[in-house]
Amino acid sequence: MNSDTVNIKKLIIKQSLELDCGKTIKNFPLAYETYGTLNKKKNNAILTFHALTGDQFVAGINPITKKKGWWTFAVGPGKAIDTNKYFVICANVLGGCMGSFGPTEINPETNKIFGTTFPVITIKDIVKSQKFLIDHLDIKKLLAVVGGSMGGMQALQFTSSYPDAAYSTIPIACSASHSAQNIALNELGRQAIMADPNWKKENATPNKGLAVARMAAHITYLSKQGLQEKFGRKLQDKGSLKFSFDADFQIESYLRYQGSTFVDRFDANSYLYITRAMDYFDLEKQFNGNLSLAFKKTKSKFCVISFSSDWLYPTSENKEIVIALNACGANVGFVEINSDKGHDSFLLDVPEFLKTLSEFINSTYNDIK
């Protein structure tokens, strides 16, 4: 991973941003990418939020990894989020490692990489930094804010913090706060990184720890049924067991591959900071235990989407958001998509999901034209 050799689009945010941890930052970079064209009325803009290991490169080819953007199934010409019609914006989150202000940046006070001296951030901080970007683009009101997983958390926070900033909000496969299970899973990943002997060593990266963290997390993105159908107990090499600790099974080889490729594009400390931001997210707590108050001031139209086989952010947690929205009289629709692909369904070619996304965004646009 080296974003320095690629011409990444960045906004230097000169305004001061007071973080939830009490520290203040200013003159910091926010890397972003756009797709499509902003129309004259500036009412066709969609702010897309990426998940934990995503980045600003939603569609096309990522210039750093040389791989397809993380949401190419959904975003592009003629796709669910049609870039022939809509202007799509995505920023690398605060704390990220694709050009935005994060632990890989140089601390001007010490002239050394921040590392773990970087301030702890929250989803609210991340959203505040992205509002500066929207203001910079002179967009008064977004057509939609949309995201899955951690991106869904950002969508909820954005609409709560800026109730008049978007016509519609699409939180996908997420929750209004992290469950004990999800905090535990994130802690497993963080401990894997921090247990690596190379963590905190100068000029060394904890690749083994980060790879294990990625492997553990990747399992949670899939479903038991999906794993069984794809891998079952198939052996990596045809024939008998090796009676060793090599990758005998295809699933083992697959996870090792996921771990090894991840370390080439992601920073271990960014992983620590962003998972911590997810764990700290608790929209209900921000409003004294009443989630419906988080959305009381917004006129935004909501479409909450979950997936039947998602055990990381199950339908029951998505429904809690719907219940809170109903309680405050919000305009909300809810769809559970049948899929055996688990949490990752929102990133994949799931026709019913893509159709739902397309129809909701198009109807919203038709309403405001």
The phi-psi region of residue 74 (left if phi > 0; otherwise alpha if psi is between -120 and 50; otherwise beta) is: alpha
With H, G, I as helix, E, B as strand and everything else as coil, classify residue 172.
strand
343 is catalytic: yes
Given CA atoms 334, 338, 344, 347 in this order, what sign does their dihedral have? Answer: negative
Q: What is the maximum alpha-carbon separation in the chain?
A: 66
Backbone angles phi, psi at 307, to 5 degrees: -125, 140
Sequence-distant (6+) residues with CB within 8 A of 253 are 236, 247
For tokens 């600790």, the residue is 245
With H, G, I as helix, E, B as strand and everything else as coil, classify residue 327.
helix
Sequence-distant (6+) residues with CB within 8 A of 3 are 31, 64, 97, 98, 99
With H, G, I as helix, E, B as strand and everything else as coil, classify residue 143.
strand
Contact assessment for residue 82 and residue 59, using Cβ atoms and an 8 Å cutoff: no
Residue in 149, 160, 270, 309 annotated catalytic = 149
Residue in 310, 339, 340, 344 annotated catalytic = 310
* Residues taking part in catalysis: 149, 310, 343
